[in-house]
Amino acid sequence: MDLEEAVRTRRTHKVYGSEPVDRATLEELFELARWAPNHHLTNPWRFRVLGPAALAALKEAAGPVDGSKLDRAPTLVVVSAVQVEDRTQAREDRDATAVAAYLVLLGAHARGLAGYWRTPGVLRTPEGRAVVGVGVDQDVLGLLHLGPARQEQRAPQRAPVGEIARFLA
């Protein structure tokens, strides 16, 4: 799959098969993420793959309604960015981490896997952050759901280029 095809055909999935993504594939995806553009090469991104015990504890911290949403995919990855005091650098590092997370999603798609980027409220609570080992020195960007797709997703409507881009003299 070439890059343009991957970008245009990747979709958000909310229904997955039960087979988790194997460690070797996850390591390939994180290797790809390392190549996200990053000012000063600070490598601010951090990925945490949740095992069964961590998932159970996160579900408990989330409560019964929100916790059930954590069962959608067989593999969950918490994405966070290391925080620094310099506001400009912190913003650049967060942006770079978002690109790294998207590279994981694109790489998963290119390998025939489905993905979903969520920002569950439990990861903004001290209890949820403690469960996944994210301290106050990191900013949580979200939770990537990964696994085999169980259904096709249609292409969403996108704004035309003329509405989103301007060519200035």
State pLDDT tens for residues 13-49.
888 999 999 999 999 999 999 999 998 899 999 999 9
State pLDDT tens for residues 18-27.
999 999 999 9
pLDDT (0 to 100) of residue 155? 77
Residue ranges of domains in the chain, CATH in brackets: 3-164 (3.40.109.10)
State pLDDT tens for residues 43-69.
999 999 999 999 999 999 999 999 999
Cross-strand bridge partners of residue 148: 113
The beta strand positions in the chain, using DSSP E, are 45-49, 75-82, 113-118, 138-148
Write down the mean pLDDT value for the chain.
94
